[in-house]
Structure 1
Amino acid sequence: MYTIATIVNAELEAKKSRFQAIAVPVKSEQAVKDVLQSHRDPTTTHQCWAWKIGHHVRFNDDGEPSGTAGRPILAVIEGQDLSNVLILVNRWYGGVKLGTGGLVRAYGGCASQAIQLAQRVELIATQAVTLHCEFAELAQIEYELGQLEIAFQAEYLADGVFITAEMTEDQIGLINPFLQNLTRGREQLSIQDKF
């Protein structure tokens, strides 16, 4: 399974209608909602989209005939063995009707062009983890996380530091024993959600 590295755009023109595809890597339904909200464009005639995160899929035809926009976009995502991807295709109507076959080709074709421009990256399952440490332990934990190239966020509290990160199973297997040894069994990783 793969995802895309960054946001990519592609454009296509069909019988005077202009189509613009925006492919975005996403990790959650909330991220999908945020992207759709930030790309809301009142100048478009239709804003059709599809996304896939793991086994969850959704698509929307936004007023186009049923099955002519969202499904072809989703077919591009699934046909490329992608996950954690949202593709939004904007259409500006040019005055000439495309028919159902023309719409399927235009929406699917524009989405496909965007994916062809994207850099594919292997999707490695991660889990959100948290841990708590004392101030004196923070430097060693930061060093260990850095050695494993784990990005993290630290929140300083009155009684120590609260750290959140995303880790692969292998990284969890290395950090958890380190943390337990460092804190003499007082702390261990708290695993949150799978992505």
Structure 2
Amino acid sequence: MPFTLVSEVRFEEDIKKSRFEAIAATVENEQDVKDFLEHHKDLTTTHQCWAWKIGHHVRFNDDGEPSGTAGRPILATIEGNDLTNVIVLVNRWYGGIKLGTGGLVRAYGGCAGQCLMLAEKTELIEKKEVRFQCLFNEWAIFQYELKSQNIDYVEDYTADGVMIEAKLQVHQIDALAIKIQDVTRGREQLKVEEKTDD
């Protein structure tokens, strides 16, 4: 069963006068990755190397370090911890002493690994995107239901009522489908988006 992180976590260490800082966070999609990297862009660093894994998709970047000495070892720590939907960024401020390729692999992989050891992990529960609509006078009932179960949703008001898109854990789908049928007296159905892996 894959795991993901509960919250963002950081770890810093000095290795032969170079300062390394690892930042690990959850990401749901490539836009989250872009936002994370943009947010943590730091022009004072010598290198900003990173790796991420979302489902079966992985990417890594050595940012000018010798090929295979930074991004790949960071990715190895993500996969070694059975994590997904995670990005780890390791910043390096060069201190004047070359570490060599083996030293770099140990430094980047080690710093990322220490950071992930500090992180609180949670089992990644599969979520599905669902949609349904309701009348204005029914929306308060559904709003209460979604909030009480900590379900993320977006509502869109139309001329006829409210269109709701939500992300549900798989085990929540049946109960919400029944609730929609009850409240709307069978008029509306819960539509589950079937996602295909690209």
Same fold by TM-score greater than 0.5: yes
Deviation at 1:132, TM superposition (A): 1.3
Alignment of 1:109-188 (within 5 A): 109-188=110-189
> Retained in 2: the 8 A contact 1:46–1:63?
yes
Deviation at 1:163, TM superposition (A): 1.9
Number of aligned positions between the proteins:
195
Aligned to 2:10: 9
Alignment-mate amino acid for residue 101 of structure 2: T
Give the SS at the match of 1:97.
coil
Alignment-mate amino acid for residue 95 of structure 1: G
Aligned to 1:86: 87
1:28 maps onto 2:32 in alignment:
no
Segments of structure 1 that go 5 or more residues without pairing to the other structure are: none
Separation in 2, partners of 1:193, 1:11: 41
Which one is further off, 26-35 or 136-145? 136-145
Segments of structure 2 that go 5 or more residues without pairing to the other structure are: none
Separation in 2, partners of 1:40, 1:193: 35
What percentage of aligned pairs have identical amino acids?
Answer: 59
Describe the shift of the 1:193–1:69 C-alpha distance in structure 2 as closer, same or farther (beyond 3 A): farther
Separation in 1, partners of 2:55, 2:94: 33
Separation in 1, partners of 2:152, 2:30: 22
Aligned to 1:56: 57
Deviation at 1:193, TM superposition (A): 6.3
Aligned to 1:192: 193
Separation in 2, partners of 1:93, 1:32: 25
Aligned CA RMSD, in angstroms, stands at: 1.7
The TM-score with structure 2 as length reference comes to: 0.92
Poorly superposed stretches of 4+, deviation over 4 Å: none
Deviation at 1:177, TM superposition (A): 2.2
Deviation at 1:174, TM superposition (A): 1.1
Describe the shift of the 1:175–1:106 C-alpha distance in structure 2 as closer, same or farther (beyond 3 A): same
> Retained in 2: the 8 A contact 1:12–1:106?
no
1:102 maps onto 2:92 in alignment:
no
Separation in 1, partners of 2:94, 2:148: 53
Describe the shift of the 1:127–1:46 C-alpha distance in structure 2 as closer, same or farther (beyond 3 A): same
Give the SS at the match of 1:86.
strand
